[in-house]
Copies of this chain bind each other. A is one copy, B any other.
Amino acid sequence: MDAQTPYARLKTRFARLTHLEDAAGMLHWDLSTVMPEGGAEARAAQLATLKTVSHDLLTAPEVGDLLDAADADEAPALDGWDRANLSAMRRQWRHATALSTALVEAHSRACSACEMAWRGARAADDFAAVRDRLATVLDLTREIAAAKAEALGRSPYDALLDEYEPGGSEAEIAPLFDDLAAELPAILDDALAAQAADPASALPPGPFPADKQRALARRLMERIGFDFRHGRLDESLHPFCGGVPDDVRLTTRYDEADFTSALMGVLHETGHALYERGLPAAWRDQPVGRALGMSVHESQSLLMEMQACRSRAFLTFAAPLMAEAFGARPGDPGWDAETLYRRNTRVEPGLIRVDADEVTYPAHVILRFRLERALLSGDLALDDLPGAWRDGMRDLLGVTVPDDRTGCLQDIHWYDGAIGYFPTYTLGAMTAAQLFAAAVAAVPSIPDDLARGDFAPLLGWLRTQVHGLGQSVTAREMLERATGRPLDAAVFTAHLRRRYVERVG
């Protein structure tokens, strides 16, 4: 061991951390899909120990010394990938060592208690029942933000954001979201007007048996490029993409009255899965070989679902397959590509984020981004949250929030301690639009390819421009190289106008 350089020793240690994280990922998949209820306590103990052991490995006193030695003596001679790897190690170590064990444990306990109380509070539409626990979570989150702000040399909110979005900042996001918020109401009005002029869309006749939905989903996943030798499709209450890059596990939930939500959900998760599978194989167990952050991850799922699979081009290809999957003929009412396109691009302002369409979704995120910053800074008192939520929904989407259950109690995130996560959804949507436009500019055949069900040209471009880079560049560098410009709202709003107002694309 001692003959190894500090950086080589760090690589061994971080490979172990990756394996432990991967093991925990598989156990999470199991928990969500196949574990019997009685296994919960033992599983919690396994996961907690994996976390403790990983934390001990990452924060052992020698790690700081090794990082310093590697930075001082080896960094100048390392190539780009190794240098990026070393700095990703440093970032991970800073996050882990910024907090005392006591603070981490207090936060973890507070989040568990708050999340538990939130489940009851949401069901009972009773914000007061969870208010005090949320206050505790917020207080501890402020402590964490302050500690990380010092360790990372960032603002408190940016320090929280950095966990999900390395290098992301409030100062960059706020103006992007302001631009979007200024544009969206007009797009929404125009989209609703365009939609009102659409002919009525017959619903294809159900029910849609789960096994037929599954067969269709698998068929389209394979078309897109999912390799079942390296992954699975299963069922869980809350769909997700888990597992590890060489064994990606997607889940969905089938509704036999409507096959669209499960299918589009699967295509969304397939986008996540292809990103994981495309990460650089030579760096599988090092930080530089992992995904760039949540917004880039979300961009890959939204690119696949929203940009590619809800497009008129793809639905032209998929309509006959969908009809066939459920024993209908392509000409049958409700099964033509035009009807399916209209059904897959409906817009309707609503109360619930997870049910929102592509046009109204950003408003939900912008509201949460504004409110969570105000909560963290103390500008918004917790008692004023329900009212601020109602005001925000009225201003941003023109909808009236009738209760807290469909208002500030709807999402688990804050009650589970995740502050700084929400913006990544809409950053992901903007990134997806910008990347897809660049892909089409670089490979103009892509829309026609999708209309033939050929994803290879699109996937090939993504493999080179995004997936294969791992963390060897920052998210900003990746985007500028791939698209020639930093993230801005214009490509995304242009996409929305094209699809929802002009009804093309």
Query: Which residues of A are at the interface with B, using a C-beta cutoff of 8 A?
Result: 15-16, 19-20, 22-23, 26-27, 30, 34-39, 41-43, 45-46, 48-50, 52-53, 57, 227-232, 243-247, 284-285
Q: Please, which residue of chain B has its CB at the minimum distance from the CB of A243?
A: B39
Q: Is the CB of B46 within 8 A of A16?
A: no
Q: Nearest-CB distance from A247 to chain B (Å)?
A: 3
Does the CB pair B36–A231 fall under 8 Å? yes
CB distance from A490 to the nearest CB of B (A): 40
Q: Which of B16, B20, B22, B38 contacts A246 (CB 8 A)?
A: B38
CB distance from A231 to the nearest CB of B (A): 6
Min CB distance, A419 to chain B, in Å?
Answer: 29
| Max chain B C-beta neighbours (<10 A), residue from A52, A232, A245, A246 | A246
Residue of A15, A38, A227, A247 with highest tally of chain B CB at under 10 A: A247
| 7 examples of A-B residue contacts, CB within 8 angstroms | A19-B50, A20-B53, A23-B23, A30-B30, A36-B230, A39-B243, A39-B247
Given contacts A27-B26, A232-B34, contact A245 B42 (CB under 8 A): yes
A16-B52, A34-B232, A53-B53 are contacts. A22–B46 as well, Cβ < 8 Å?
yes
Tell me if B36 and A247 are in contact (CB < 8 A): yes
Give the interface SS of chain A, mostly helix, strand, loop or mixed. helix
Is B45 a contact partner of A285 (Cβ separation < 8 A)? yes
Cα A51 to Cα B196 in complex, Å, equals 63
Contact indicator B19/A48 (Cβ below 8 Å):
yes
Task: Work out how many copies of this chain go into the complex.
Answer: 2
Give min CB distance, A238 to chain B, whole Å.
19
Task: Identify the 6 closest CB pairs spanning chains A and B, nearest first.
Answer: A39-B247, A38-B230, A19-B49, A38-B229, A23-B46, A42-B246
Please report the C-alpha to C-alpha distance between residue A244 and residue B43 in the assembled complex, in whole angstroms.
9
Given contacts A22-B45, A23-B23, A38-B231, 13 further A-B contacts (CB under 8 A): A16-B49, A19-B45, A20-B46, A20-B49, A23-B27, A23-B49, A34-B232, A36-B228, A38-B247, A39-B246, A42-B245, A53-B53, A53-B57
Q: Which of A15, A27, A227, A245 has the most CB of B within 10 A?
A: A27
Quick one: closest B residue to A39, CB to CB? B247
In angstroms, how far is the closest chain B Cβ from the Cβ of A457?
A: 24
Q: Given A42-B22, A49-B16, check contact A37 B232 (CB 8 Å).
A: no
Bound-state CA distance A53–B20 (Å) is 9
Cross-interface CB contact of A53 among B16, B39, B45, cutoff 8 Å: B16
List of B residues within 8 angstroms of A22 by Cβ: 42, 45-46
In the complex, the chain B residue whose C-beta lies closest to that of A53 is B53
Assembled-state Cα–Cα distance A231/B22 (Å): 23
B residues in contact with A43, CB < 8 Å = 26, 247
Cα A48 to Cα B22 in complex, Å, equals 12
Given contacts A19-B45, A45-B285, A49-B19, contact A244 B39 (CB under 8 A): yes
Contacts of A27 in B (CB 8 A): 23, 26-27
Q: Least Cβ distance of A368 to chain B in Å?
A: 35
A495 and B144 alpha carbons, distance in the complex (Å): 68
B-side contacts of A39, CB under 8 Å: 230, 243-244, 246-247
Q: Which residue of B lies closest to A227 (CB)?
A: B38
Q: How far is the CA of A19 from the CA of B43 in the complex (A)?
A: 8
Between A16, A37, A42, A284, the greatest number of chain B beta carbons within 10 A of the residue's beta carbon is seen for A42
Residues of B within 8 A of A245 (CB): 42
Contact of B42 with A244 in the complex, beta carbons under 8 Å:
yes
Query: Contact between B246 and A37 (Cβ–Cβ < 8 Å)?
Result: no
Please measure, in the bound complex, the distance between the C-alpha atom of A41 and the C-alpha atom of B48, giving whole angstroms: 25
How far does the Cβ of A216 sit from chain B's closest Cβ, in whole Å? 20
CA distance A227 to B45 in the complex (A): 21
Residues of B near A34 (CB, < 8 A) are 34, 232
Q: Assess the B232–A36 pair: CB atoms within 8 A.
A: yes
Bound: A285/B284 CA distance, A: 32
Complex: how many Å from CA A46 to CA B285? 10
Are the CB atoms of B36 and A23 closer together than 8 Å?
no
* B-side contacts of A45, CB under 8 Å: 15, 19, 22, 285
For the complex, what is the distance from the CA of A208 to the CA of B56, rounded to whole Å?
A: 53
Contact with A23, one of B50, B227, B228 (Cβ below 8 angstroms): B50
Q: Cβ of B38 and Cβ of A19 under 8 Å apart?
A: no
For the complex formed, measure the closest distance between the CB of A192 and the CB atoms of chain B, giving whole angstroms.
45
Contacts of A26 in B (CB 8 A): 26-27, 30, 43, 46
A424 CB → nearest B CB, Å: 26
Whether B229 pairs with A37 at a CB distance below 8 angstroms is yes
Taken together as a complex, chains A and B put the C-alpha atoms of A16 and B19 apart, in Å, by 17
In contact, A42 and B284 (Cβ under 8 angstroms): yes
Contacts of A36 in B (CB 8 A): 228-232, 247
| Distance in angstroms between the alpha carbons of A230 and B39 in the assembled complex | 6
